[in-house]
Amino acid sequence: MSVVDRQIFLGYDPRDFAGFRIAMFTIRQWDKYIPIRGLVLDDLRRQGLYYRPTETRINSDGRKQMWDVISDAPMSTEFSNSRFLVPHLAKTGWALFMDCDIMVLSNVSRVFDLADPSKAVMCVQHTHDPIETTKMDSQIQTRYSRKNWSSVMLFNCGHPSNKKLTIDMVNTLPGRDLHRFCWLEDHEIGALPQEFNYLVGYTHLNSGKTPVVVHFTSGLPDLPGYEDQEYADEWRAMLPYAVGAL
């Protein structure tokens, strides 16, 4: 697979700017040439690619919460649903989407070596049913089928079934349907090894395995209450280098 046939998309939310910088920086430590694009909601709106109606509501502890009107559900990030535009944006080849609250510990580009052309999407197929009711900055913790499968996705952009995932679908379907890959048959969803989406506090790898992608799914280490979680020290140590690389 040539460089032009692979690219990475990172979710972007201005509230998680430090996380986005660390995600970008740690990817670049291992692969200096792979194209990386941020999914910036304002840019997608200006391009006419994202027009889902959203509101700002006040949650139970008095904090602001983004709300997706179509889903009648909270959005924990600005890219909660825009991630499904990746096949349209990438157009060809394979495209890896990742949430921005990640840290890469080895060459994530190795995931492209696992690409199975018979699959439309590949992901770590977690069984993730958190008991907490909130996460991150007091955002509501939602539950849905195949939770966290879509936080790291390898899209086969040329697969015929991904042509069904139209811009209109991304903007009109409930988010819970998009996150369970409603446009695909089960056999079109391939499995990636767990180390490519290691959920801090939830994932347990087999002996001898180490994470490639560390995912702070409950909250980044710079948020109150998440300072002492696994890999928090490594994340904080990386922060000045990542921000200084601007």
Residue with tokens 């879509």: 150
Could you read off the pLDDT of 137-179 as tens digits, one per residue?
Answer: 545 546 557 989 999 999 999 999 999 999 999 999 999 999 9
Rounded CA separation 20/24 (Å): 6
What are the domain boundaries of the chain? Answer: 3-50+81-128+145-244
CA distances (Å), origin 239, targets 43, 93, 221, 232:
26, 32, 11, 11
pLDDT at 1 over 50: yes
Find the mean pLDDT for residues 102-131: 92
pLDDT at 64 over 90: no
Token pair of 46 as six digits? 């200006």
Q: Does domain 3-50+81-128+145-244 have CATH number 3.40.50.10740?
A: no
- Predicted pLDDT of residue 243: 86
Q: Whole-model pTM?
A: 0.90
Rounded CA separation 94/35 (Å): 12
DSSP string computed for 86-119: HHHHH-SSEEEEE-SSEEE-S-GGGGGGG--TT-
For the beta carbon of residue 37, count every other beta carbon within 10 angstroms. 16
- Predicted pLDDT of residue 132: 53
